[in-house]
Amino acid sequence: MPTIYRLLPECPDLDPLDLGLLAAVARGEARLTPEQGLALLECAPLHTLGRYADARCRALHGDHIRTYVIDRNINYTNVCTAKCTFCAFRRDATDQDAYTLEYDQLYEKVAELSAIGGTQILLQGGMNPELPLDWYLDLLAGLKERFPHIHVHGFSPPEFIEFVNFFDPPGATLEDKLRWVMVRLQQAGLDSLPGAGGEIFAPAVRTKIGLGKCTAEAWLTTMYVAHSLGMFTSATMMFGHIEGLADRVHHMRLVREWQDRALLDFGEGQIPESVRTDPSIKSPRTGGHYVSFISWPFQPDNTPLGRLKEWPQPGDLGDGGAGEFPGDAIARVDGSGTKDMHPEFGRRLRLAGSTAYLRTQAVSRLMLDNIYSIGSSWVTMGPHIGQLALHYGANDMGSVMMEENVVSAAGTTYCLDEPVLNHLIREAGFTPAQRDNVYDILKLNHGPDSPDLLVDDWSRHRAAKLAIHLEPKPSAALTVGATD
Ligand code: SF4
pLDDT in tens, 160-211: 999 999 999 999 999 999 999 999 999 999 999 999 999 999 999 999 998 8
The answer to whether residues 124 and 403 touch, using CB atoms and an 8 Å cutoff, is no
pLDDT value, residue 193: 97
Span from the CA of 327 to the centroid of ligand 1 (angstroms): 22
pLDDT value, residue 456: 84
Angle separating helix axes 174-188 and 216-228, nearest 10 degrees? 50
Examine residue 230 and state whether it is found in any structural domain, yes or no.
yes
Q: What percent of the chain has pLDDT over 90?
A: 73
The length of the chain is 484
pLDDT value, residue 133: 98
Examine residue 121 and state whether it is found in any structural domain, yes or no.
yes
Residues near ligand 1 (Cβ within 6 A): 80, 82-84, 87, 89-90, 126-127, 158, 213
Domain that holds residue 121: 36-481
Residue 476: is its pLDDT beyond 90? no
What would the mean pLDDT of 415-432 be, rounded to a whole number? 92
Residue 101 CB partners (closer than 8 Å, separation 6+): 74, 76, 77
Residue 484: is its pLDDT beyond 50? no
Residue 279: is its pLDDT beyond 70? no
What would the mean pLDDT of 356-381 be, rounded to a whole number? 95
Q: Exposed e or buried b for every residue in 311-322, given b needs 16+ CB within 10 A?
A: bebeebbeeeee
| Closest by CA position to 149, among listed 233, 74, 229, 71 | 71
Residue 314: is its pLDDT beyond 50? yes
Does 270 or 344 have the greater pLDDT score? 344
Least confident span in 126-130, 371-375, 470-474 = 470-474
Ligand 1 mutation pick, 76, 77, 84, max ligand atoms within 8 A of CB: 84
What residue's CA is closest to ligand 1, atom 7? 126
Which ligand 1 atom is at minimum distance from the Cα of 159? Answer: 3
pLDDT value, residue 302: 82
Examine residue 22 and state whether it is found in any structural domain, yes or no.
no
Rounded CA separation 383/413 (Å): 10
| Cross-strand partners of 414 | 465
Span from the CA of 393 to the centroid of ligand 1 (angstroms): 29
pLDDT class of 409 with cuts at 50, 70, 90: low
What residue's CA is closest to ligand 1, atom 1? 87
CATH classification of the domain holding 53: 3.20.20.70
The whole-chain average pLDDT of the chain stands at 88
| Closest by CA position to 483, among listed 218, 204, 297, 243 | 204
What would the mean pLDDT of 4-20 be, rounded to a whole number? 87
Ligand 1 mutation pick, 74, 99, 127, max ligand atoms within 8 A of CB: 127
Residue 285: is its pLDDT beyond 50? no
Residue 143: is its pLDDT beyond 50? yes
Residue 320: is its pLDDT beyond 60? no
Model confidence pLDDT, tens digit, residues 14-67: 999 999 999 999 999 999 999 999 999 999 999 999 999 999 999 999 999 999
Residue 470: is its pLDDT beyond 80? no
| Closest by CA position to 189, among listed 233, 153, 135, 234 | 153
Total domains, the chain: 1
Examine residue 337 and state whether it is found in any structural domain, yes or no.
yes
Examine residue 62 and state whether it is found in any structural domain, yes or no.
yes
pLDDT class of 426 with cuts at 50, 70, 90: very high
Examine residue 122 and state whether it is found in any structural domain, yes or no.
yes
Considering the entire predicted model, what is its pTM?
A: 0.90
pLDDT class of 483 with cuts at 50, 70, 90: very low
Span from the CA of 308 to the centroid of ligand 1 (angstroms): 19
Span from the CA of 93 to the centroid of ligand 1 (angstroms): 13
Ligand 1 mutation pick, 89, 160, 162, 236, max ligand atoms within 8 A of CB: 89
What would the mean pLDDT of 384-391 be, rounded to a whole number? 96
Examine residue 161 and state whether it is found in any structural domain, yes or no.
yes
Residue 477: is its pLDDT beyond 60? no
What would the mean pLDDT of 343-355 be, rounded to a whole number? 94
Rounded CA separation 484/296 (Å): 25
Examine residue 474 and state whether it is found in any structural domain, yes or no.
yes
